[in-house]
Amino acid sequence: KESGLGAAPYLHLFQDFWCPTHFIQGMNNFMKHFHSKDNDVFVASFPKSGTTWLKALAFVIVNHHRFSSFDHHPLLSSNPHQLVFFPESILSHDLHDQILSLSNMSEPRLLGTHLPFPSLPESITKSNCKIIYIFRNPFDIFVSAWEFFTNVKVSSSSELTFEEAFEKYCNGITAFGPWWSHMLGYWEKSITRPHKVLFLKYEDLKEDTVFHVKRIAEFLNSPITQGGESNTVIENIIKLCRFETMKNLEVNKSGYIYNIAEKKHFFRKGEVGDWINYFSPSMIEKLSKTVEEKLGGSGLSFKIHS
Ligand code: A3P
């Protein structure tokens, strides 16, 4: 098997992180030309951490007043990445038009980003806009990324085996890596600026989705309908966004996102702990050691089993 995970020339060290080549121009434009509004909402993540799920949830929560019917919801006919896109990926072409369309988006604007916190445009870090970050345990991220990058178009130029990709991953060489600095950057901000950054964990979201949906809504000052009705609305939000629903929607079965990845590859297993089926005992030892070295003492803990 081959993988684009961590493969040169697919990745370039850009500022302090490993940037996929096809993103570099868009990143530069995003950093230079993007103007944040105080009511913007960003979904930030390290790739394969549950971005698609969080985009879906955030879209429904932010827009729950606009689309009261769950039977005709935009998520049933559009992939979450089409509803909540990454400015860094669209700003690589037709810059003027894209900037204009971004500034004309209906408010609050809901956008995504894979940029590490220190690389975000200053207008995002300085404005009052809000960021919801999704974290996932580094074991499952690797496996999810491996499966994903073996399928996307950019992987065709690479020749890494599972073991080679794993070594690079443990050295931080992976799209938007090192993963530990990415996670720690947002983790620290969620502690020092709790009104700015909400830090969610994929594993927690799976375990108690209701609680975390309420947390997201509160963080965004967008409480779901008050009173008895709110529980039904929350249940409907969760039902619409859950893995089985999303995976089985016709719109998510075929077609490409960003001309790179097929939509179906964003929905694989959606489980906690699948890494156990992939790692040798020495890999488990190595990644556990890396995690201890890089995240130990940060207060950032996580589950690796369901
Ligand atoms: P697996 O490969 O482990 O199945 P990202 O969206 O950041 O690319 O992350 C993709 C991972 O999130 C994949 O994990 C995918 O299956 C999972 N995922 C996608 N949609 C999901 C959902 N609605 N609920 C839970 N997990 C989801």
Closest by alpha carbon to 115, among 185, 187, 176? 176
Q: Is residue 297 part of a domain?
A: no
* Residue 242 near ligand 1, beta carbon < 6 Å: yes
pLDDT, tens digit, 9 for 90 and up, residues 86-99: 999 888 888 889 99
Show Cβ contacts of residue 262 under 8 Å, excluding neighbours closer than 6 positions.
Answer: 151, 152, 254, 255, 256
When pLDDT is averaged across residues 12-29 and rounded to a whole number, the result is 89
- Which atom of ligand 1 is least distant from the CA of 56? 23
What's the complex ipTM?
Answer: 1.00
Alpha helices by DSSP H, the chain: 24-33, 51-62, 80-83, 87-90, 95-103, 122-126, 138-149, 162-170, 179-192, 202-207, 209-219, 229-241, 243-248, 281-295
pLDDT, tens digit, 9 for 90 and up, residues 275-284: 999 999 999 9
Q: Is residue 173 part of a domain?
A: no
Residue 157: pLDDT band (50, 70, 90) is very low
Residue 53: pLDDT band (50, 70, 90) is very high
Q: What is the pLDDT of residue 126?
A: 95
Instruction: Count structural domains, the chain.
Output: 1
Q: Is residue 63 part of a domain?
A: yes
Q: Is residue 155 part of a domain?
A: no
Closest C-alpha residue for ligand 1 atom 9: 48
pLDDT, tens digit, 9 for 90 and up, residues 70-123: 889 999 999 999 999 999 988 888 888 999 999 999 999 999 999 999 999 999
64, 81, 114, 212: the catalytic one is 114
Q: Is residue 304 part of a domain?
A: no
Q: ω into residue 116 within 30 of 0, thus cis?
A: no
Q: Is residue 184 part of a domain?
A: yes
* Residue 149 near ligand 1, beta carbon < 6 Å: no
**Pocket test residue of 54, 82, 266 for ligand 1, highest count of atoms within 8 A of CB:** 266
Cα 263 to Cα 70, 78, 227, 256, 290, distances in angstroms: 22, 11, 37, 5, 32
* Residue 266 near ligand 1, beta carbon < 6 Å: yes
* Residue 140 near ligand 1, beta carbon < 6 Å: yes
Q: Is residue 34 part of a domain?
A: yes
* Residue 252 near ligand 1, beta carbon < 6 Å: no
Measured in Å, residue 49 CA sits from the centre of ligand 1 at 7
CATH code of 49's domain = 3.40.50.300
286 has a pLDDT exceeding 70:
yes
Q: What residues pair up with 19 in beta bridges, in sequence order?
A: 12
1 has a pLDDT exceeding 50:
no
214 has a pLDDT exceeding 60:
yes
Query: Using CA atoms, how far apart are residues 141 and 149, in angstroms rounded to an integer?
Result: 12
Q: What is the pLDDT of residue 151?
A: 82
Q: Indicate if 114 belongs to the active site.
A: yes
Count CB-CB contacts under 10 A for residue 78.
15
Q: What residues pair up with 45 in beta bridges, in sequence order?
A: 134
144 has a pLDDT exceeding 60:
yes
Q: What is the pLDDT of residue 51?
A: 98
Rg (alpha carbons) of the chain, rounded to whole number:
19
Q: What does the chain come to in residues?
A: 306
Residue 154: pLDDT band (50, 70, 90) is low
Residue-range definition of the domain harbouring residue 50 = 24-140+178-268
Q: What is the pLDDT of residue 261?
A: 87
Q: Up-side HSE of residue 142: CA atoms within 13 Å toward CB?
A: 29
Q: Is residue 169 part of a domain?
A: no
- Which atom of ligand 1 is least distant from the CA of 206? 25
Which phi and psi angles does 158 have, rounded to 5°? Answer: -105, 160
Closest by alpha carbon to 303, among 140, 148, 189, 190? 140
